[in-house]
Amino acid sequence: MEKLHKGIYKFYEDYYKKKKKLFEKLAKKQEPTVFFITCSDSRVDPNLITNSQPGELFVLRNVGNIIPPFDAQNDKNSAASAIEFAIEFLQIRDIIICGHSNCGAMKAIYEKEPFFEKTPHLKNWLKFAEPIKDIFENSNTNDLQKRTEQQNIILQLKNLITYPVVAPLFQKGEIRLYGWYYEIDTGKVYELDKGTGEFKPIESI
């Protein structure tokens, strides 16, 4: 905690004072342009990897960057409330789902029942990623982890389109969805090519 306390002081002295006008503006209103959905993993920092400023990204984080399919009966889904808030109230029209390498959640979907003995909520949550297992059921691929992580991004993008606030706008081309894959050890970010289904490195423009 001491490190965090020192960090707060350093933030105020080195960052806030230099960006004081920005924070005064943000205090009145937020106007993010991108809805960034990613994993809770401590190694993934959306603002850092996109070089974004405070107020530019509206971020949703959870274990496995998972979006449960729309369920009108489930009104306790925090992901659903974030989606509605981003689109209806913040009027965001660019949405990114960003997975990452060496994701513990994606490893866990292949675990057997005893693994979840003390984590029933985690077990239930990861069911929304389990369809990926069917894709690789008889696969002997050496890169199962990576392929699982990338297929999960594709699956969650499909789930996102099941939401009533998303579907009509997506069908009319008024909302744009992106799948990103962050490779921690190389620092590279790959974007889903919807035509080929492959993830290609994002190059400088």
What is the rounded CA–CA span in Å between residue 89 and residue 135?
37
DSSP H/E element including 104? helix 104-108
| The Cα angle at residue 94 between residues 126 and 133, in degrees rounded to 5 | 25
What are the tokens at 94? Answer: 């660019």
Q: Is 52 exposed, middle or buried (0-12, 13-18, 19+ CB in 10 A)?
A: middle
Strand partners, 64: none
What is the rounded CA–CA span in Å between residue 155 and residue 136?
14
Nearby residues of 25 by Cβ (< 8 Å), 6 or more positions away: 55
pLDDT in tens, 40-82: 999 999 999 999 999 999 999 999 999 999 987 777 789 999 9
Q: Residues in the chain, how many?
A: 205
pTM metric for this prediction: 0.94
pLDDT in tens, 92-142: 999 999 999 999 999 999 999 999 999 999 999 999 999 999 888 777 677
